[in-house]
Amino acid sequence: DLPITIRMVLTHTSSINDNNEYISSLYGCGDQTDLSFEEYLKNCYDTMGIKYDTTNFGNYKPGDKWEYCNSNYVLIAYLVEQISKKPFTDYCRENLLVPLEMNESSYLYSELDMANVAVNYISEEEASLSPEHPRIDHVSIKGKNATCHYTWPGYPDGGLHTSIPQFANFIIMLI
């Protein structure tokens, strides 16, 4: 057995696969923080986990193949918490968002002024293709229904809520 490195996790060559059915079942309106990163990872990747399956791992050696995996970012967030001894959102706020003056950005809806958060709208056809996206049926514009502000417990996979000007601060840091 080859060890899985942080580089492999960050570059999607870890051989870890998402359990998409499980991920879809975890989506809900608002912050979904009841299931910890550790619990999610144990559920999927511990042989005693309630959602463990051999298909949660690729049939190739770590490092041999690229395959996108949202759960890689859940693993990174879990490692951040273990190493820093802080909740992931606190660590990101202190070490990334505040220094970059991204003071209106967060992974959690509960930390945002919801009056400034855009609303998603999906058509009936889109809703039938993506039933995991909860809808607000009483709000409709041009045949599209509003969705609630939804997420899943693996929000570090791309769930940072920000504005274009604040995201520009992050891009400038990278340049």
User: pLDDT tens digits for 93-137?
Assistant: 999 999 999 999 999 999 999 888 887 777 777 666 665 555 555
- Residue 85 near residue 150, CB atoms below 8 Å: no
User: Looking at residues 147-153, what average pLDDT do you find?
Assistant: 86
Q: Which residues in 51-70 are b (16+ Cβ under 10 Å) and which e?
A: bbeeebbbeeebbeeeeebb
Judge whether residue 91 has pLDDT over 80.
yes
pLDDT tens, position by position, 7-54: 999 999 999 999 999 998 998 888 999 999 999 999 999 999 999 999
Query: Is residue 154 within 8 Å of 144, Cβ to Cβ?
Result: no
- Residue 92 CA to residue 88 CA, distance in Å, equals 6
Relative orientation angle of helices 71-84 and 37-45, to the nearest 10 degrees: 130
pLDDT above 90: residue 152: yes
Rounded to a whole number, what is the distance in angstroms from the first to the last CA of the chain? Answer: 38
